[in-house]
Amino acid sequence: MNMTKNRVGIVIGCALILGWCLLPVAWIISLSFKSQEAITNGSPGFFPSSGTGAGWKNYEDVLKDDQFKHAIFNSIGISLISTVLSVIIATLAAYAIARLEFRGKRFVLTTALVIAMFPVVSLVSPLFDMWRTFGIYDTWLGLILPYMSFTLPLAIWTLSAFFREIPWEMEQAAQVDGATSWQAFRKVIVPLAAPGVFTAAILTFFFAWNDFVFGISLTSTENARPIPAALSFFVGADPFNRPASLLAAGAVVATIPIIVIVLFFQRKIVAGLTSGAVKG
């Protein structure tokens, strides 16, 4: 009796949360299947009424658009590169922070946290000036750098917490078994910290993929403009009448890669990977 009550409660709770989170997504998906006219005329309804549906036409248009294709390519490239670099650097830094005693360790950690708390917007204009002087304005590098510096602190904090959980003996055993410090790190510690590494990777990828402020202010052409910024430049023939259904289709397409990446990484985040290492 109690069990079934619990069950019902859980189902209702889940449904509420899912409804709350997914309603905007559902609305965007519904919009993306409607014709432009239906939206311009107002109150299009959730399901396209007869004659207002556009089928896959919006998606075809979006994917045919050169600007959009460039933006997708830029976004994937920039996000992946910043994720990979950020995770590699964060792993090494976090390992040092977790394992070594050195002067200024606290300083490094607090500075990292301060950087993460800095409002992004306040950095945009100085970066704009600097990047133009350095000649990396409107390039991939110009976006990868700020993305990395904003995601590194979080990645370092996450990973050093993971490393601290791994018993010292693991490395010592490896060293006694004949491993160099680097081998012990690569063959024993990194595999054990894999859940942490993938958590950091997801966080970094999210940040880079969803960023709008840097994306729109540090780019000017299709050269490096990522999707969120590109979507805002999506204007049809009439600048006062933005193609809402086309935008919706673009937004849906832009969401797909991130879902794929999360699903892929999520499988790697297996909790309790270290169980069985020590004691009984």
Binding site for another protein (CB under 8 A): 167, 169-170, 172-180, 183, 187-188, 191-192, 194, 272-280
Separation CA 266–CA 203 (nearest Å): 12
DSSP 8-state assignment for residue 277: S
Separation CA 274–CA 190 (nearest Å): 12
Q: Which is nearer to another protein, 63 or 170 (CB)?
A: 170
Q: Which is nearer to another protein, 16 or 277 (CB)?
A: 277
**CB 181, min distance to another protein, A:** 9
| Gyration radius (Cα) of the chain, Å | 24
Q: Which of 212, 171, 207, 213 is nearest to 188 (CA)?
A: 171
Contact 163, 99 (CB under 8 A): yes
Separation CA 150–CA 74 (nearest Å): 19
**CB 238, min distance to another protein, A:** 59
**CB 160, min distance to another protein, A:** 20
Q: Which is nearer to another protein, 175 or 255 (CB)?
A: 175
**CB 86, min distance to another protein, A:** 24
Q: Which is nearer to another protein, 5 or 279 (CB)?
A: 279
| For helices 66-99 and 140-165, angle between their N-to-C axes, nearest 10 degrees | 40
SS3 call for 157: helix
DSSP 8-state assignment for residue 187: I
SS3 call for 43: coil
Q: Which is nearer to another protein, 71 or 193 (CB)?
A: 193
**CB 166, min distance to another protein, A:** 10
**CA angle 72–269–215, rounded 5-degree value:** 25
**CB 262, min distance to another protein, A:** 23
Q: Which is nearer to another protein, 119 or 280 (CB)?
A: 280
